[in-house]
Amino acid sequence: MRCPFCGHDDTRVIDTRVTEDGLQVRRRRECPECQARFSTFENAELKLPAIVKRDERREPFSEPKLRGGLERACEKRPVSLEQIDHIIDVVVKKLRTSGEREVSAKQLGDWVMLEMKNLDQVAYVRFASVYRRFEDVQAFREEIERLEKDLPVELRNRQLPLLDEPEA
């Protein structure tokens, strides 16, 4: 590896360690020419499956695009960036382990919605409204009713109701 300080073509590795997350290798290097030390990081390059859109177009998976959609859905909600990062990590892991060369946008959206459902009901409905292309208020109502029916009791009790409860 070329020295970033003097440009010498050959540096030597003096220490190698795996990062905390286990996904990178950190190498400490030294230049024999100028004696400067620096670190490099090595990542495995894994090609993720292509995403097949509704109109049959194929495009590479875009983490920034997914992050943008999640951040818009979670805007002004009590959802941290770490929780959004976790959803992205889970989805990317599912993509990697799918073993497929192509994954449908529907499957990708289903994976995201599964994670969002357990995170925040409002963000979930916001994401679902774009992902499922809601056309009217009835589509929102049906999704909210499905969410309330399927949500485990412990998660239901943590959040405010989405619709006013009918009076008894």
Q: Which of 48, 154, 163 is nearest to 111 (CA)?
A: 48
Hey, what are 113's tokens?
């919605």
Look at residue 4 and tell me if it is in a domain. no
Look at residue 128 and tell me if it is in a domain. yes
Contact between 29 and 16 under an 8 Å Cβ cutoff? The reply is no
Indicate if 35 and 111 belong to the same structural domain.
no
Torsion angle defined by CA atoms of residues 21, 25, 30 and 36, in that order, rounded to the nearest 10 degrees: -40
Look at residue 163 and tell me if it is in a domain. no
Amino acid 160: pLDDT: 55
Indicate if 100 and 145 belong to the same structural domain.
yes
Quick check: 6 pLDDT over 90?
yes
Indicate if 94 and 59 belong to the same structural domain.
yes
Look at residue 121 and tell me if it is in a domain. yes
Look at residue 150 and tell me if it is in a domain. yes
Host domain of residue 78: 50-157
Indicate if 71 and 152 belong to the same structural domain.
yes
Share of the chain above pLDDT 70, in %: 85
**Overall domain count for the chain:** 2
Give the whole-angstrom CA distance, residue 9 versus residue 26: 20
Q: Rounded to two decimals, what is the model's pTM?
A: 0.60
Indicate if 25 and 91 belong to the same structural domain.
no
Q: What is the pLDDT of residues 95-117, one digit of tens each?
A: 988 889 999 999 998 899 889 88
Give the whole-angstrom CA distance, residue 72 versus residue 69: 5
Quick check: 27 pLDDT over 70?
yes
Amino acid 104: pLDDT: 94
| HEC assignment per residue over the chain | CCCCCCCCCCCEEEEEEECCCCCEEEEEEECCCCCCEEEEEEECCCCCCEEECCCCCEEECCHHHHHHHHHHHCCCCCCCHHHHHHHHHHHHHHHHHCCCCEEEHHHHHHHHHHHHHCCCHHHHHHHHHHHCCCCCHHHHHHHHHHHHHHCCHHHHHHCCCCCCCCCC
Indicate if 31 and 83 belong to the same structural domain.
no
Indicate if 136 and 82 belong to the same structural domain.
yes
Indicate if 21 and 59 belong to the same structural domain.
no
Look at residue 5 and tell me if it is in a domain. no
Share of the chain above pLDDT 90, in %: 51
Question: Where is pLDDT greater, at 12 or 45?
Answer: 12
Give the whole-angstrom CA distance, residue 135 versus residue 143: 12
Indicate if 32 and 61 belong to the same structural domain.
no
Look at residue 39 and tell me if it is in a domain. yes
The average pLDDT across 78-100 equals 92
Look at residue 70 and tell me if it is in a domain. yes
Among 52-61, 115-124, 130-139, 148-157, the range scoring the smallest mean pLDDT is 148-157
Indicate if 39 and 60 belong to the same structural domain.
no
Quick check: 163 pLDDT over 60?
no
Indicate if 76 and 36 belong to the same structural domain.
no
The average pLDDT across 38-45 equals 87
Indicate if 140 and 80 belong to the same structural domain.
yes
